[in-house]
Copies of this chain bind each other. A is one copy, B any other.
């Protein structure tokens, strides 16, 4: 069984290979009446776009999104709005250089999905990793833009908090800094260090891992579907499904193991607008439900497996070979994962909202919806 959909009520089905004619997604379950133009999606895609600096892949793709269905504009509406029918989004692949991949047509690159795809399917589109390419995440970012419309009182922002061994100074966190540097760093002080580190990595033909942190504010208490649709479990699945992800944690995460009960459990006080918490070790989730605090998660990304160093491996014939992966690659795949982490988080929360509304009649969240009914 293949499984190319995620979400339950806000349901996204993605399709497309790295070197096929196009890729895209179908977004099903979107509420009607939300304003949606290609520009609303493009702004997020542009953040993920390749070819934007020397530390990301040199593949040049405009990544221009087309909306093929699900919106309608007529005299009575102020610009195109969603109609409640499936939204089909398509992005054409333009800068394919399939010949780069001739060498690996019958070889299994170490750390790549080549071997298990072959073991599973007996056939694989080896060009740019085919379906296993991180290029698929463009479709996720497009879907995330629609998700944001549904929960527009929620702000979902991510940042890079570690590259290789160099973690940011959390005291220096400034969301304004994130857009000012090519690494989405919230700590201006670490930018020079990261630049130097990546330059060395790039020159060595090597690669490095990273950690991304995402924070969603404005999430009301009570979202999440116990026991197996918990918000944190859904986030864990969504974030772990991103290419190269190897770990996901919520709030204090793995550090929780070393805490005492007193340090860990966030105390509650009376606030002007519902409960306030004096800390957020929980990362905004208790019992799989949102608490009203910011939802906080972190994702660890492994180093890009495509490196210039020759590596021992096998080919399809089962012979032992050495392989050097040339082609256009990100030395630190975690950097371009930042908008993808945001998008997946937005999708999970939009889905959680719709599920919550189904069971509890929680009413409209998007102001535009309220007015309609």
Copy number in the complex reads 4
A234 vs B305: C-alpha distance in the bound complex, in angstroms?
22
Min CB–CB distance A265 → chain B (angstroms): 3
Closest to A252 in B: B246
From B105, B207, B262, A206 is in contact (CB under 8 Å) with: B262
Q: Given the interface contacts A15-B26, A85-B131, does A241 sit within 8 Å of B113 by beta carbon? A: no
Chain B residues with Cβ below 8 Å from A88 are 15-16, 22, 24
- With A and B bound together, what is the CA distance between A79 and B303 in angstroms? 36
With known contacts A110-B265, A360-B120, A254–B259 Cβ distance under 8 A: no
Residue from B3, B123, B206 within 8 A of A227 (CB atoms) = B3
**A258 touches B (CB below 8 Å):** yes
Chain B residue with Cβ nearest A241? B233
Partner of A164, one of B113, B124, B207, B258: B258
User: Which of chain B's residues have a CB closer than 8 A to the CB of A250?
Assistant: 240, 246-247
Closest to A364 in B: B361
Question: Could you tell me the distance in whole angstroms from the C-beta of A118 to the nearest C-beta in chain B?
Answer: 8
Interface size on A, residues (CB 8 A): 168
Residues of B within 8 A of A99 (CB): none
Question: Known contacts A111-B286, A120-B222, A240-B230: does B206 contact A1 (CB below 8 Å)?
Answer: no
B84 touching A359 by the CB < 8 A rule?
Answer: yes
A32 adjacent to chain B (CB < 8 Å): yes
Considering the chains assembled together, what is the distance between the CA atoms of A221 and B373 in angstroms?
14
In this assembly, does A307 line the interface, its C-beta being within 8 Å of a C-beta of chain B? yes
Q: Among A209, A221, A228, A247, which residue has the most Cβ atoms of chain B within 10 A?
A: A247
Within 8 Å of chain B (Cβ to Cβ): is A268?
yes
Chain B residues within an 8 Å CB radius of A319: 270
- Residues 337-373 (chain A) with a chain B CB within 8 angstroms: 354-365, 369-370, 372-373
Measured CA separation A364–B358 after assembly (Å): 9
Of the residues B84, B248, B303, B369, contact of A240 by C-beta under 8 Å: B248
8 Å CB contact of A207 from B122, B260, B275: B260
Complex contacts, A318 vs chain B, CB 8 Å? 270, 275
CA distance A229 to B268 in the complex (A): 37
| B9 in contact with A268 (CB, 8 Å) | no
Contact with B along A7-28 (1 / 0, CB 8 A): 0110101111100111110101
**Contacts A122-B373, A123-B32, A240-B233; A278 near B2 (Cβ below 8 A):** no
Complex CA gap A227/B105 in Å reads 21
A100 to B257 alpha-carbon distance, docked (Å): 28
Query: Among the listed B105, B132, B165, B247, which residue makes an inter-chain contact with A258, where contact means beta carbons less than 8 Å apart?
Result: B165
Cβ-defined contact, B247 with A132, below 8 A: no
CB contacts under 8 Å to B, within A109-128, are 109-113, 115-117, 119-126
* Interface flags, A40-59, vs B, CB<8A=1, else 0: 00000000000000000000
Q: Contact at B26–A1, with CB atoms within 8 Å?
A: no
- Contact A362 to B355, CB < 8 A, known contacts A4-B228, A14-B86, A240-B230: no
Is there a chain B Cβ closer than 8 Å to A130's Cβ?
yes
Tell me whether B111 and A265 are in contact (CB under 8 A): yes
**Chain B's nearest CB lies how many Å from the CB of A341?**
14
Q: Which residues of B contact A111 (CB under 8 A)?
A: 261, 264-266, 282, 286
